[in-house]
Structure 1
């Protein structure tokens, strides 16, 4: 992804500056942030599918990561998942804008946030201590998602989705979940009770 970002950035830098390029770069940042939240909450935490392919897919994308949160090979999103999503975003952006430059700017913003997400996710699961209060807090909330209750704290790179959609809770008000480490257990669709 870094190589792709460098290539796209080189293309953008060669273009004359426009505020619309900056706007579409920011749109890419924002789209990724919301995509991160909604994908994590509503796709990666689906109840286990009955069909074998769907179950294997979710196992690799997320269930196994909850079962073994410190295994590096399960920590990062696989390229076979990220690239098609980036391609879909680029096609939709191009169809809406009819501009390669604006599409490249938006894709750059999306890739930057993907790399931020992957870095923050890595830091959350390895014995590194973030330097900022915000970084320490994001690490803490992500680990609460893994070890206390998987129904809350879906944001990895930022808390905006959790804040907007009610899944950013004070840890003292949330009960521990029996399924935080085993997403393959049959989950009911109700939120767990809150103290």
Structure 2
């Protein structure tokens, strides 16, 4: 298999044991795993390649830079919409064509939030999505140079998002208050109510669209926080995800991994 093929090769899912268990890793171990992880290395290569193409195709370097702040402003909202309406959309698992993709891109992550292999999305899904969202914006502003500038920005932002996403599931108490804050919000999303706090580093769309909540006591605990609505009853009716998993969906995390209630209720 080629090197590029290895980058896109899916890691075995829902197996016994974890090769990268964020619940047992410290920050130094995360840096080592993150910087050497094939998907992240691929993103780094794509960042360099798209940046070089942007400069090579540019007729006005300043015009080619304009898509950067535009993408920085637009990307959090795009991520919010994808996370809320696609990754948490139940219609994906009800279709045999899309069930496998839905399982890979989000269901597995909610079933085992500490497993690094399913925290990162597959590049076969993430890269085309980034291209569709950002390249037209850049192209409108400054042609092909702007298109690659916009894509490069999205790739950089994705790398940043994914690193902080790892920290939010890491057995590590951040020293920076802002990181403590976003970590607590994301823990609520995974262990209290999945229909809120869709952001990773930016929760402005959540605030504007009414899905933000700061503490567990602000809303009841969702019965679907761990299975995203893909219950045993749903699995019997739409079995394709369950067949891929090899086991019925779980409706609660490993008790050893559930965050303590006082941590959920604690203020930043």
**Which structure has the larger Rg over C-alpha atoms?**
2
SS of equivalent to 1:157: coil
How far off is 1:25 after superposition? Answer: 0.5
Q: Give the alignment of 1:71-90 within 5 angstroms.
A: 71-89=115-133
Corresponding position of 1:182: 227
Q: Higher relative CO (CA 8 A, sep ≥ 6), structure 1 or 2?
A: 1
1:29–1:112 CA contact under 8 A, matched in 2: no
In structure 1, C-alpha distance between the alignment counterparts of 2:101 and 2:119, rounded to whole Å: 15
In structure 2, C-alpha distance between the alignment counterparts of 1:47 and 1:162, rounded to whole Å: 20
Deviations 1:59-117 (A, max 9, x none): 11111111111111111111111121133235523653461221122112211211111
Structure 2 gap ranges (5+): 1-42, 235-268
Q: Which runs of 4+ in 1 moved over 3 A?
A: 10-17
In structure 2, C-alpha distance between the alignment counterparts of 1:90 and 1:132, rounded to whole Å: 31
Query: May I ask how many residue pairs the two structures share in their alignment?
Result: 185
How far off is 1:11 after superposition? Answer: 4.3
2:193–2:220 CA contact under 8 A, matched in 1: yes
How far off is 1:165 after superposition? Answer: 0.8
1:32–1:114 CA contact under 8 A, matched in 2: no
Corresponding position of 1:28: 71
Q: Give the alignment of 1:140-179 within 5 angstroms.
A: 140-171=184-215, 172-179=217-224
TM-score normalised by length of structure 2: 0.63
TM-score normalised by length of structure 1: 0.85
In structure 2, C-alpha distance between the alignment counterparts of 1:135 and 1:95, rounded to whole Å: 34
